[in-house]
Amino acid sequence: MVVIDTGSSDLGKFTLLEGIELSTVNVVATKPLVKAEINKLIYDVENDPDAAKSNTLEILNKIPFIQVDKMTNKIKIMGQEAGFSIIVNGKKSLLISETNQYVAKMLQAGQLKQIELITSPDGKYSDQTAVINIITKSSLPDGLVGEVSIYGSDLVRISSGFQLTSKIGNLIYNTSYNYGYSNLYGTMSNSKTVDYRNDEFRFSESYIRNSPGSSNSHNAGIRASYDISDQDMVAVNFKVAFDDGISNINSFSKYQNSSNIITREFIINSSNVIYNAQYVGSVDYQRSFKSKPNKQFTATYSLDNRKNEMKYDRITESITGYTDNRDQTLNNLNNFEQTAAIDFYNTIAKNQSYYITAKYVHRRYTSDIWLSEMNNTPVFTTQVDALEYLQQVGSLLCNYSIRTNKVMATGQIAFEHTDNDINFGINNSMLKKSDDALLANLRFNYQPSNRSMFVLSLSREYFRPDIGYLNPYEDKSIAGQIYKGNPELDNQKSYFTMLMFRYFVRKSLNIRALASMRYSNNAVQQYSFVNNNGVLITTYGNISRESTMNFSIGINYNPSSWLEINLNGRMALKSFEYPGNKNSYWDPMFMLSFTSELWHGANLRTQLLYITQNWDSNLNIQSSKQHMRVDGLFDFSQKIGRRLRLGVFIQNPWQTYKNQIIEQASSDFYKKSETRSLGRTIGFQLTYNFGQFKDSVKAAKRAVRNTDRTKSENL
């Protein structure tokens, strides 16, 4: 038998030896499983002989550009676990999504027709790296699947949770719950500061011991959809989260004048209680059109309510030149956001699409600050500060995409009007601010071949600080330091450009490279200064200029079926200009990991991360000399049967403690701090999947989200 694929047309010459008699001749043509088009790869699941005995994850792992992580079973595209979408039959689905992939392990591939990997997504997904479209043979039956997990580590951190996905007729839902408990070791810090402007408090030293107590967290959510008809659907999404925490901070500060004579010493013991609550939800109505399924109308209402309560009981003991005191502060924060929007999406011919979104956002930020003088009898409590910040944003956005054989271009333009009404409650002063913004985004995808792609993006963006940046509360729980927000911040306008290249050598090797730059002349950034009393104040401000140039590369290599190698690297040049100062430095990061299959069902991952000491900290524009560190992770995973998986990991086994060194410098001061925390960590995770898949959970195909309160740092 001679077997050829459909890409072959010339069979060559066949020579038969004299005397050999053939009874029959069969020529069998096999259809290739992967078909390449200019903007996507199509995997023919129906013609895969292994589909009937494989699950969806196993089939996805056969498609070029797609890998399934051996340790976590998470889907990755070009080595990345984010930046892509998963849809079912052309529609967003809670059944298999970026955040709900466990169901893919329970879905048999024999129920699928084909899988499309769209490498050049059109207008509605143009901000995504790729889209996976899973096409089923027919409507899937009802059923229920779930996942239960438990996690623990020697840091006294325990969590457990579950997820359920089910379909009952036209009602489809996904529920989840997670509980976490921790009682962490905490940190110890030492810092030295030089104040160039103040002779009396020229030199200062501080010691801080943060001893967190127990904390609890609860996270629950439900997502559901109901098909009113074949063209009409209602989807709801609601989640709640609660967490509380207790910590005790013991801090000591010593000040010396320019002649090295002690001018002030004191100790602060602070007991802190923090409570957070979050309620987030949305309701979507979506209508598609029978004559044109790609045309869709969506109406959305969403709310986001976040509460935060911070309570500090502080005792100050004077050693030299200070005053004993005991007080208690309470800060109540509230963020309530409501959004109403309508969205219309349509296609023009086969290669063009557009959408229009009209949106109104109403935000109410409040901060109430109370002070109790514990030295008085009875205790005297008064409100010392308050803020009410009302923000209204109206916007109209238009997006258009066109695609040719090798090029796809997307243009987006938006007009936004913002009104800010700011009420400083204690002094009853008002501040009104409004502005208009014209935002734009241009994106060009060029695909010279099925193996390579260039992406060029140009955009003008907006960032609106939320209550975390605006809060006027002064946190004085640490001796010699004050942390506070700035209610008079302006919205940040920035410009961003990116050039990305992706090259797929073969299934076992792919490469991605990226160069980008972000620029702003009124960036919202954290900075510090020393006041006249020698206290270091850290807050936020609109600095005059910020720019970040980023160069990164990623390589994913699978030399054999039992070994996977990943290399990711980044070199970012960060530059800041603010009154009287300029600061720039390189911020490198390199990660190398090896994932190997030791035996059937057992995998080991070794990961080394080389990063700067500022990696875990808020970026401060006065950060100067960079101190590097190496973090290591060794992760073992064992599959037990088809449904149970056990994971054991150890982080930084070579060090009991790890030190973080951060230096800050400006024309006014210099500060160096060293923080010690636990380094070695040992933990485990147990995950169990159950149930039988029988259908998908739909979601609104065109979701409307607010991203302007999230400061973009990822390049």
Instruction: Dump pLDDT digits (tens) for 658-699.
Output: 888 888 899 999 999 998 988 889 999 999 988 775 444 445
Nearest to 439 by CA among 364, 363, 492, 360: 492
Q: What is the mean pLDDT of the chain?
A: 85
- What lies within 8 Å, CB to CB, of 346 at 6+ separation is 292, 294, 295, 296, 353, 354, 355
Q: Please say whether the beta carbons of 191 and 214 come within 8 A.
A: no
Quickly list DSSP for 597-645: EEETTEEEEEEEEEEEGGGGS--BTTB-S--EEEEEEEEEEEEETTTEE
- Given a cut of 60, whether residue 7 has pLDDT beyond it is no
Look-up of token digits 């979601």: 699
Looking at residue 110, what is its pLDDT?
A: 75
Is the CA virtual torsion 9, 13, 19, 20 positive or negative? Answer: negative
Instruction: Please list, residue by residue across 87-106, b when 16 or more beta carbons sit within 10 angstroms of its beta carbon and e when fewer do.
Output: bbeebbbbbbbeebbbbbbb
Instruction: Dump pLDDT digits (tens) for 539-551.
Output: 999 998 999 999 9
Angle at 28 between CA 22 and CA 31, to 5 degrees: 170
- Looking at the chain, how many residues does it have? 715
Looking at residue 696, what is its pLDDT?
A: 42
Rounded mean pLDDT, 78-100: 74
Q: Please say whether the beta carbons of 692 and 144 come within 8 A.
A: yes
Nearest to 371 by CA among 333, 331, 334: 331
Looking at residue 502, what is its pLDDT?
A: 86
Q: Residue 631, Cα to own-chain centre: how many angstroms?
A: 21
Can you give the residue ranges of every domain in the chain?
2-140, 145-692
**90-104, 505-519, 604-618, range with greatest mean pLDDT:** 505-519
- What lies within 8 Å, CB to CB, of 99 at 6+ separation is none
Burial class (CB in 10 A: 0-12, 13-18, 19+), 174: buried
Angle at 680 between CA 676 and CA 681, to 5 degrees: 115
* R_g over Cα of the chain: 29
Rounded mean pLDDT, 255-278: 93
What's the one-letter identity of residue 183? N
Rounded mean pLDDT, 269-292: 91
Structure tokens at 683: 């933990």
List phi, psi (to 5°) of 43: -100, 125
Indicate the pLDDT class of residue 615, thresholds 50, 70 and 90.
Answer: low
Burial class (CB in 10 A: 0-12, 13-18, 19+), 380: exposed
DSSP 1: -
Nearest to 359 by CA among 318, 321, 393, 314: 393
- Given a cut of 70, whether residue 301 has pLDDT beyond it is yes
CA 476 – CA 115 distance, rounded (Å): 57
Rounded mean pLDDT, 201-222: 92
Q: Please say whether the beta carbons of 129 and 120 come within 8 A.
A: no
Fold (CATH) for 2-140? Ferric Hydroxamate Uptake Protein; Chain A, domain 1 (2.170.130)
Indicate the pLDDT class of residue 29, thresholds 50, 70 and 90.
Answer: low
- What are the distances in angstroms from CA 256 to CA 190, 195, 316, 371, 667? 16, 10, 19, 30, 20
Instruction: Dump pLDDT digits (tens) for 622-668.
Output: 887 778 888 999 999 998 988 899 999 999 988 888 888 888 899 99
Nearest to 699 by CA among 344, 227, 225: 225
Within 13 A of 692's CA, how many CA atoms are on the CB side?
Answer: 6
Instruction: Please list, residue by residue across 290-324, b when 16 or more beta carbons sit within 10 angstroms of its beta carbon and e when fewer do.
Output: eeeebebbbebebebbbbbbbbbbbebeeeeebee
Instruction: Please list, residue by residue across 592-612, b when 16 or more beta carbons sit within 10 angstroms of its beta carbon and e when fewer do.
Output: ebebeeeeeeebbbebebebb
CA 142 – CA 136 distance, rounded (Å): 15
Beta 352-373 vs 91-92: how paired, if at all? unpaired
- Given a cut of 60, whether residue 321 has pLDDT beyond it is yes
**6-10, 24-28, 235-239, 291-295, range with greatest mean pLDDT:** 235-239
CA 293 – CA 454 distance, rounded (Å): 30
- What are the distances in angstroms from CA 576 to CA 90, 527, 623, 674? 45, 11, 10, 24
Q: Please say whether the beta carbons of 284 and 234 come within 8 A.
A: yes
Element (H, E) at 59: helix 56-60
The residues with which 390 forms a beta bridge, in sequence order, are 364, 421
Look-up of token digits 């779930």: 146
Beta strands in 6-123 (DSSP E): 27-30, 34-37, 40-44, 66-68, 75-77, 84-88, 91-92, 112-118
- Given a cut of 80, whether residue 420 has pLDDT beyond it is yes
The residues with which 682 forms a beta bridge, in sequence order, are 650
Q: Please say whether the beta carbons of 402 and 351 come within 8 A.
A: yes
Looking at residue 135, what is its pLDDT?
A: 83
Structure tokens at 572: 């970012």
Looking at residue 694, what is its pLDDT?
A: 46
CA 351 – CA 39 distance, rounded (Å): 11
Instruction: Dump pLDDT digits (tens) for 358-407.
Output: 999 999 999 999 999 888 778 888 988 999 999 999 999 999 998 888 88
CA 655 – CA 651 distance, rounded (Å): 9
Nearest to 683 by CA among 153, 185, 184: 153
Q: What is the maximum alpha-carbon separation in the chain?
A: 119
**pLDDT greater at residue 66 or residue 252:** 252
The residues with which 500 forms a beta bridge, in sequence order, are 455, 514
Q: Residue 452, Cα to own-chain centre: how many angstroms?
A: 27
**pLDDT greater at residue 605 or residue 63:** 605
Looking at residue 697, what is its pLDDT?
A: 43
Percentage of residues of the chain with pLDDT beyond 70 = 89
Element (H, E) at 371: strand 352-373
Nearest to 618 by CA among 662, 561, 570: 662
Percentage of residues of the chain with pLDDT beyond 90 = 47
The hierarchical CATH code for the domain 145-692 is 2.40.170.20
Instruction: Dump pLDDT digits (tens) for 581-590.
Output: 999 888 899 9
CA 206 – CA 204 distance, rounded (Å): 7
Within 13 A of 47's CA, how many CA atoms are on the CB side?
Answer: 10
- Given a cut of 80, whether residue 17 has pLDDT beyond it is no
Looking at residue 302, what is its pLDDT?
A: 96
Looking at residue 144, what is its pLDDT?
A: 78
Q: Please say whether the beta carbons of 287 and 232 come within 8 A.
A: yes
Alpha helices by DSSP H, listed for 196-235, are none
Of 201-205, 232-236, 269-273, 286-290, the poorest mean pLDDT is in 286-290
Beta 524-530 vs 509-520: how paired, if at all? unpaired
Instruction: Dump pLDDT digits (tens) for 36-62.
Output: 776 778 888 888 888 777 788 888 888
